[in-house]
Amino acid sequence: MEPVAKNKKIIWAAGILLAGLVTFKLISIITGTDSSRANVLLITLDTLRPDHLNTYGYERDTSPSLNELAKDSFVFDQAFTVATTSGPSHATILTGLYPAQHGLLDNGQEINNETRTLAEILGQTGYDTAGFVGYYALAEESGLDKGFQVFEYHPIVSHDHDEKEPEDDAKGFAAVDGWLESWAQTSEDSRTPFFVWMHVQNIHESYDPPAPYNTMFQKISDLQIFEGFDGEFDVHCSNDLAKAWRAGTLPPHFKDEATALYDGEIRFVDDQLGRIFTMLKSEGIYDDTVIVVVSDHGEILFELYENGFYKKGPGHTARYSDASIQVPLILKPAGFHNFEKTARMKQLVSTVDLVPTLLELLKLPIPQNLPGQSLVATMHKLGTATKKEKIFFHEISYGVEYSGVRTDQWKFVIKNEKGIESSMLTDLVNDPEENRFELSSSKTQEMQVLLKGWKKENQFRAQTSEISEAMRTALKEGGYLRK
């Protein structure tokens, strides 16, 4: 063979090989077999207020493990949920859609059949998927198990306020830890990346942590009888707390004790998470894993809202003060994402932004029907990218419809109960405690127009559905339904 002809064949073969490698790379990105695809660990901590975490300035040592995680993460200071009940909020976190779009507007309902979950998307691109939940309204009846190859329900011990051991409330953590360890022990050559969703119910009322967390921050009273309260009062019991607090008969020291118990729940959860983070590091998979820590909603503890629009705590359902809609959001990227540095992010973000953010981090296309926006560009530019000027929220909580919009300065909430509509406009800059109704008719009209346009743009399909008797029983046991 002539040297020139031989060289042409070599060049031709090299071209074919290069084209094949490029094609393989494109296919691997689409199918999820590329070695640079990050694992994802999504941790949703039910009923967690950001201002009770050390990362957000809390003085009690409630969250040393999350504080360490935050050093490797982007911490969002103004993250907000779209709903104050667990079902609608979690469905948004897992689908990237607003409640009236995914169809789960209230606890006990189910997402629409055509709604795709993050687990479905990732499972179809080669991910191992596993979900672990601690609350019945997030189990199979909600449809949130769609796309998970493994899906387990691990409820915490019933809130009967008896003595219990830490392992009684740690079963969900143990299940997650076991699944991750099993994944880590498989051969690297045969591994596909994982997506694990861990929902943690422990922090939710009643505030009833196991020893030693039940007295970690303050000594707790035994059953009490006091004036103005019918029967024995148990500070661990959310129904007793709410009844006495709303009646104005709760002795002040019980407020402090209940807050200490809430903080004890957080510390118990944080210690369990710390063990999982340590295991990820020891197995060498921490750096390749995107970790997201977020709450579905916050919690009103003992804030006093003089406006009469927000119901007194403890609790969160259908209360739209910042104590109930602001959530922690800590996002640790994988090492190979090559962010220049991590930082605190000051702009408004919503939980509806999580799915597009994760898809972009995983080099997957973002569906056009998602209303949120990826935060990746903002994370790269450390807050200098296009800022979200407002966030929206909406749900139909136990028959009452709520919708609202919040900006840096203003919040507007509409409540529709049996056809009777009421609303509240708050100036958050001049009234951060949210006690006063603002009477500005022009600002109210502006916010009403915003809400109307938002609903139209996102093709809202408000719907209700009957819940099963099993679900109704579970909601009663959880304190959500009183009858």
> What is the per-residue pLDDT across 199-243, written as a single tens digit (0 to 9) for each?
999 999 889 999 999 999 999 999 989 888 888 999 998 889 989
The encoded tokens of residue 240 equal 């007793």
Task: Annotate 248-258 with b (16+ C-beta within 10 A) or e (fewer).
Answer: eebbeebbebb
State phi, psi for 383 to the nearest 5 degrees: 95, 0
CATH class of 38-386: alpha beta
Rounded Cα distance between 183 and 268, Å, is 25
Please give the helix or strand (H or E) that residue 171 lies within, else none. helix 171-184
pLDDT exceeds cutoff 60 at 198: yes
Instruction: Tell me the pLDDT tens digit for each residue of 301-333.
Output: 988 888 888 877 788 876 789 999 999 999 999
| Residue closest to 139 by CA, chosen among 97, 90, 175 | 90
> Do 121 and 370 contact (CB within 8 A), yes or no?
no
pLDDT score for 15: 41
* Residue whose token pair is 């449809």: 143
Cβ-based neighbour number of residue 434 at 10 Å: 22
Give 175-196 pLDDT, tens digit per residue.
999 999 999 999 888 889 999 9
Secondary structure class of 421 (helix, strand, coil): strand
The yes-or-no verdict on residue 353 having pLDDT over 90 is yes
| pLDDT tens per residue, range 249-278 | 999 999 999 999 999 999 999 999 999 999
Helix 354-361 and helix 86-95, axial crossing angle in degrees, nearest 10: 30
Residue 14 has pLDDT above 70, yes or no: no
pLDDT at 459: 64
User: 362 vs 35, 127, 257, 336, 477, CA distance in Å?
Assistant: 11, 11, 44, 11, 39
Is the model's pLDDT at 46 over the cut of 60?
A: yes
When the pLDDT of each residue in the chain is averaged and rounded to a whole number, the result is 86
Q: Identify which has the larger pLDDT, 5 or 251.
A: 251
- Which residues touch 392 (CB under 8 Å, ≥6 apart)? 82, 98, 350, 403, 404, 405, 406, 451, 454
| In the chain, % of residues over pLDDT 90 | 64
Maximum separation of any 2 CA atoms in the chain, in Å: 107
Q: Under 8 Å CB-to-CB from 454, ≥6 apart: which residues?
A: 392, 405
Contacts of 8 (CB under 8 A, 6+ apart): none
